[in-house]
Structure 1
């Protein structure tokens, strides 16, 4: 068994919870022409993260000192232009966005988004229902919890969200993102052109699942996003629900 940053324990050999692959093998060449870049940011630390409690749809804010925790990422994003910005509508993500891209940066010419940030409920963490706020030690003797740990696709926390609903809403989000990119109807980019960049401020489980859906070979637990950490995924769209992807650290 292993334990991740939010208190969840899983078997080392657990199968990937991903139910659909939407990309081809990640064998893209370095000189491939990319259509879009996603910058995926996990929100900063909350009290429940620190106490290793499950945190799904409960709307906690960041701990005091979040500005210092996110300072490095804020500096990295200075001057970066985003074609679109998406943010989970939960407080911890909204506060993270306000810190890493304050309103003054969003309205300045040097760091301009084509549109105001979009608060996106589909980017919420998995809903843990009655297990929200609980720790592994509080739940370890519950039979349903232990079954859910081994097969989250087959079991659902009491009052929580079935895994297939979690996957489907993220698939719908990706579909809408791909549709937006196609609808831009821009001329083919030159080899040295910068692809549109999209900032997504969300949750650890969402980042893991998006990586699974975009990167064949990635298990749900292949990534362990730390609070305030960012990843970049470059995408080449090659058909409906189909892309080539490359994962980079930010």
Structure 2
């Protein structure tokens, strides 16, 4: 979890460039004629105690607060009956618990939200690792010079004992590459171009959703989205090649 509202001294920073080069991007008006390869449904986990207390929460393995079922019920009802070709979930407890609530095992086995395979626990979908700053608040860290430097230049500064921004972006790019490889393998089967593209459910963290949108959607930076606990975002994807994606955000 990265809290923009706690960073009064933050400079405007370009957090990460899209993997699409300008030459590869398709004009927005041309997207109407595209055949989309898949739809990503990106879900942020429900609320934890550290979220409520506005503490940094990266790889620490906290569960959801009591009452998570009620908090996530609107999303569970929205997803009920939807079919997913694949389901991916961060392997941290708060995401696993969220998945169990929004897509109960009974629905998977009954075909209510059938996936072609069991949900896959994916460490690459973890939040950024904040190292020694995990569990700390902005007020606890605001006088630490390295922390203030990280706020201004997260691509250059790494939290003590934590993860570099380059490593964070690289593992998310590898996850996108795995979707590309899976979709290429599907091309072996004859496809109905009039059929809806397969949906892929991804239960993950706020920072991951921000960064994936930054990497995929032209004009998005890291702060363009503010995923709330239990909120879902839908992105249509055309996989033009490895590291080469055409994407569009859908209303949610």
Equivalent residue number for residue 25 of structure 2: 24
Instruction: Give the match's secondary structure for 1:234.
Output: strand
Relative to structure 1, the CA distance from residue 104 to residue 26 in structure 2 (aligned partners, 3 Å threshold; closer, same or farther) is farther
1:83 lines up with 2:81 in the alignment: no
Q: CA deviation at 1:4?
A: 6.2
Structure 2 unaligned regions, length at least 5: none
For residue 14 of structure 1, the aligned residue among 12, 15, 21 is 12
Q: Which runs of 4+ in 1 moved over 4 A?
A: 3-8, 10-13
Match of 1:190 among 188, 193, 201: 193
Q: Distance in 2 between matches of 1:103 and 1:135?
A: 36
Aligned counterpart, 1:154: 156
DSSP 3-state at the match of 1:201? strand
Whole-angstrom distance in 1 between the partners of 2:156 and 2:140: 22
Note the alpha carbon deviations across 1:226-246, whole angstroms, 9 max, x for none: 000000000112233212100
Partner of residue 97 from structure 2, selected from 95, 98, 117: 95
| Match of residue 233 from structure 1 | 235
Pair 1:12–1:174, CA change in 2 (3 A): same
Distance in 2, matches of 1:25 and 1:12, equals 33
Q: Kindly tell me: are residues 214 and 26 of structure 1, through their superposed partners in 2, closer, same or farther at Cα, counting changes over 3 Å?
A: farther
Gaps of 5+ in 1: none
Cα gap change, 1:64 to 1:181, in 2 (>3 Å): same
Secondary structure of the residue aligned to 1:174 is helix
- Equivalenced residue count is 247
CA distance in 2 between counterparts of 1:26 and 1:103 reads 41
Would you say the 8 A contact 1:38–1:199 is kept in 2? yes
Return the alpha-carbon distance in structure 2 between the equivalents of residues 84 and 118 of structure 1.
8
Distance in 2 between the 1:54 and 1:14 partners? Answer: 20
Q: Work out the CA distance in 2 between the residues paired with 1:26 and 1:48.
A: 42
C-alpha distance in structure 2 between counterparts of 1:162 and 1:86, whole Å: 23
SS of the residue aligned with 2:31? coil
CA RMSD of aligned residues (A): 1.9
More helix by share: 2
| 1:173–1:26 distance in 2 versus 1, CA, 3 Å | farther
